[in-house]
Chain A
Amino acid sequence: MEHAVTIDKLTRKFGDFKAVDEISLSVDKGEIFGFLGANGAGKTTAIRMLCGLLLPTSGSGTVNGHNIFTESEKIKQSIGYMSQKFSLYRDLTGRENLLFYGSVYQIPNGDLKERIAELSESLDLKEFIDRPTESLPTGWRQRLALAASLLHRPQILFLDEPTGGVDPVFRRKFWEILYRLADEGTTLFVTTHYMDEAEFCRRISIMHRGKIIEIGNPQELVKKYNQPDLQETFISLISRGESNG
């Protein structure tokens, strides 16, 4: 099977501090991969390196077969990124945001309008797409942000805590959308603090203090560590890492 993401001993230092410390992993095409870790574990730094926002200090990696050191422009064309922070323009309407992002991806105008209509249908945006995003509740904004990251039909979608601050009903809906995307062949690379969401992933990795301390199928990890559920597994792994470190 081809890999959507492979990284080997990827490291990023800020001064003397190793935010990401020699992490290695690979993600299969079409997989939903959960990228877990406590706050400050280095998840966001790792994702930013994969998205071409930050240069790694050392190590190697590819995204969609493109080298993360030298081919960040090619990577950007083939990935979508949606972050925990709502990062569309608040003074513009949803549609204006989408039209702008579409133009940046150089989607021809006719295709773009069609694509927006399509996403508006599948993500159920119709109700609020023409309102300034400032006035929208978080769940709606997140769906708009998702739409913006899907405009150019990316092969890999990086989601950095996409459901932070969203109510459970919205979260469920959001994950239904993500499942549909995965069925269509999109690779999903997701960070989350919600263990029920992590259980939706085919594989998860757990990061602690810049290192990946465990990687595998969520159910198998629960069995391996003999814990009642994923939540307890996560906590025991983190606290073990804490006492070792």
Chain B
Amino acid sequence: MDKIRYIAIKELRHILRDPRSLIIAILMPILMTFLYGYAINLDIKNIKLAVLDFDNSFESRELVGYFYNSGYFLKSEAAPNLYDPEKILKTGDANAVLVIPPGFADAVASQEEFELGLSVDGADANMSAATSSYSSMALMRFIEAKLPPGMEIPGVTLSTQVLYNPDLKSSHFFVPGLIAVILMMISALLTSITIAREKETGTMEQLLTAPVTPQQVIIGKVIPYIGLALLDGIFILFFAVFLFGVPFNGSILLMLFFGIIYIIAALSIGIFISTLVKTQQLAMMAAQLVTVLPSVMLSGYIFEIKNMPQILQYLTYMVPAKYFLIIIRGIMLKGADFTILWIQGTFLILLTIFLLTIATKKFSLKIG
């Protein structure tokens, strides 16, 4: 136990002695938060909407007003003499076309069922999904305004409901995920590099001729990085909440608890990598490859897991970020508590144990 402490102190000394690396370890995540936070912005606004109003009534113009005043739609510059939605979309001047057939005003007055047409350019899937949901929102507001209070909305069977992120702001979704990606990167990258460095310079071998076990060396070396990663996590969280306005609905203690579990999982990936490679450079490349890529692509951070090919879906079980994403989004956006999140925590712990067991096996074969 003492030996682990001495090794941890020595490692801390290495970190502090090299202010440039320390600055990178702290500034890089903050910089990335800004970059990702602002650059990956999937909020869809300024959808170009063309309207074909065949009713041309007060009510129809009122409805069109609800669309344009929602803040999501812009008036399309499409040529006014085109009366076919498909042709309008083909010009590329509009992303969507709203068709109001004749008889709309009468239907509103008699509160009858009525069908409107909305043609959406599906080339951009995100855009089209957003368009239909924004359109429903605009339509609902119009209908609500027309109905006497307390009355059921007739003929409209829309059941979409947006919870937790009512503004559908993508920063609320992305910034928590960013914490998962950055923590993974920092923890796995820095540990694999520091262990590979000792192998590369021969200090590991020297140290192991002293009465310490490889396990003690590794644990000692990794401890300071838990602190460093935690510090990074807190910084990013701070920016997420105060800069990007991401809500924090859950318990901070719970967040910290799962954060530490996740960091240890990430560190064990770093340790695992360092058992496979001998140089710092290789460690760096391997760490980038197995942490950043899967954490971004296979964690559900950007792409929905359930839309992936089956084989990739199986692969996602090996990606710690997947579990932590559910945890962090759950805690921040939904205020989820332990009774909901313990499953993800268990998966993380199992994954960590799995990685460390293999790493230890590899190490106890003695270096060389």
Q: Does A96 contact B (CB under 8 A)?
A: yes
B368 near A53 with CB under 8 A, answer yes
Chain A residues 83-108 with CB under 8 Å of chain B are: 83, 85-92, 96, 100-101, 103-106
B13: chain A residues within 8 A (beta carbon):
92, 96
Given contacts A54-B366, A91-B17, contact A85 B207 (CB under 8 A): no
- Complex interface: chain B residues within 8 A of A85 (CB): 201-202
Task: Output the nearest chain A residue to B7 by Cβ-Cβ distance.
Answer: A104
- A77, B203: Cβ atoms closer than 8 Å: no
Q: Is the CB of A53 within 8 A of B209?
A: yes
Contact B366 A53 (CB under 8 A): yes
Question: Can you list, as one digit per residue, whether each of A60-102 has a CB less than 8 Å from chain B (1) or not (0)?
Answer: 0000000000000100110111010111111110001000110
| A-B pairs with beta carbons under 8 A, tally | 70
List 7 interface pairs A-B (beta carbons < 8 Å), by A numbering: A48-B205, A73-B211, A85-B201, A87-B203, A87-B206, A92-B10, A106-B211
Q: Does A52 contact B (CB under 8 A)?
A: yes
Least CB distance, B326 to chain A, in whole angstroms: 40
Residues of chain A lying within 8 A (CB to CB) of residue B208: 52-53
Q: If the complex has contacts A104-B3, A105-B210, are A53 and B205 also in contact, measured as CB distance less than 8 A?
A: yes
Given known A-B contacts A91-B17, A92-B13, A101-B210, A106 and B201 have beta carbons under 8 A apart? no
**Across the two chains, which residue of chain A brings its CB closest to B15?**
A91
Contacts of A158 in B (CB 8 A): 209
At the interface, yes or no: B6 with Cβ under 8 Å from chain A? yes
Q: Is B75 part of the contact surface with A, judged by Cβ < 8 Å?
A: no
Nearest A residue to B204 via CB reads: A87
Give bound CA distance, A148 to B203, whole Å.
12
- Interchain CA distance A83-B159 in the complex, whole Å: 73
Contact A87 B211 (CB under 8 A): no
Question: Footprint of A on B, CB under 8 Å?
Answer: 2-3, 6-7, 10, 13-14, 17-18, 201-203, 205-213, 365-368
A-chain residues with CB within 8 Å of residue B206 when the two chains form the complex: 81, 83, 87-88, 148
Do the beta carbons of B205 and A55 come within 8 Å of each other? no
What CA separation (Å) do A230 and B334 show in the bound complex?
A: 81
Residue in chain B with minimal CB distance to A81: B209
- A51, CB-defined interface residue at 8 Å: yes
Q: How far is the CA of A104 from the CA of B207 in the complex (A)?
A: 9
Q: Closest CB-CB distance, A64 to chain B, in whole Å?
A: 13
Given contacts A73-B211, A104-B210, contact A90 B368 (CB under 8 A): no
Would you call B212 and A104 a contact (CB within 8 A)? yes
Q: How far is the CB of A16 from the nearest CB of chain B, in Å? A: 17
Report yes or no: B211 in contact with A76, Cβ–Cβ below 8 A.
yes
How many Å from the CB of A59 to the closest CB on chain B? 16
Chain B residue contacts of A79, Cβ below 8 A = 209
Residues of B with C-beta under 8 A to A91? 14, 17-18
Query: By the criterion CB–CB under 8 Å, are A76 and B210 in contact?
Result: yes
Q: Which chain A residues lie closer than 8 Å to B209 at the CB level?
A: 51-53, 76, 79-81, 158
Per a CB cutoff under 8 Å, which of A54, A73, A106 touches B2? Answer: A106
Query: Least Cβ distance of A79 to chain B in Å?
Result: 7
5 closest A-B pairs by beta carbon, nearest first, are: A81-B209, A87-B206, A87-B202, A103-B6, A85-B202
Question: Please, which residues of chain A bring their CB within 8 A of the CB of B211?
Answer: 73, 76-77, 104-106
Q: A53-B366, A92-B17 are in contact. Are A83 and B3 (CB under 8 A)?
A: no
* Closest residue on chain B to residue A91 by CB atoms: B17
Docked-complex contact B6 and A100, CB < 8 angstroms: yes
Q: A54 vs B3: C-alpha distance in the bound complex, in angstroms? A: 21
Interchain CB contact under 8 A, A53 and B202: no
| CA–CA, A86 and B211, complex, Å | 20
> Complex formed: what's the CA distance from A92 to B15 in Å?
11
| Cα–Cα, bound, A87→B201 (Å) | 6
Residues of B within 8 A of A77 (CB): 211
Residues of chain B lying within 8 A (CB to CB) of residue A81: 206, 209
Point out which of B7, B18, B368 has the most chain A C-beta atoms below 10 A from its C-beta: B368
Nearest-neighbour CB distance to chain A for B9, whole angstroms, equals 8
Most buried by A among B17, B18, B365: B17
Cβ-defined contact, B14 with A83, below 8 A:
no
Q: Would B17 and A53 count as touching, CB distance under 8 A?
A: no
- Kindly provide the distance from the CB of B366 to the nearest chain A CB, expressed in whole angstroms: 5
Q: Mark A97-122, 1 if CB is under 8 A from B, else 0.
A: 00011011110000000000000000
A24 to B90, CA, bound (A): 86
Contact of B205 among A87, A88, A92, A96 (CB under 8 A): A87
Chain B: minimal CB distance from A71 (Å): 11
**Alpha-carbon distance between A77 and B211 when the two chains are bound, in angstroms:** 6
Residues of B within 8 A of A92 (CB): 10, 13-14, 17
> Are A90 and B207 in touch, CB under 8 angstroms?
no
Contacts of A96 in B (CB 8 A): 13
19 new A-B contacts, CB < 8 A, other than A52-B209, A88-B206, are: A53-B205, A54-B368, A55-B365, A73-B213, A76-B209, A76-B210, A77-B211, A79-B209, A81-B206, A85-B201, A85-B202, A87-B203, A88-B203, A89-B203, A90-B201, A92-B14, A103-B2, A104-B212, A158-B209
Quick one: closest A residue to B201, CB to CB? A87
What is the bound-complex CA distance between A83 and B202, given in angstroms?
A: 9
- C-alpha gap A91/B13 in the complex (Å): 9
Say whether B210 contacts A48, CB under 8 Å: no
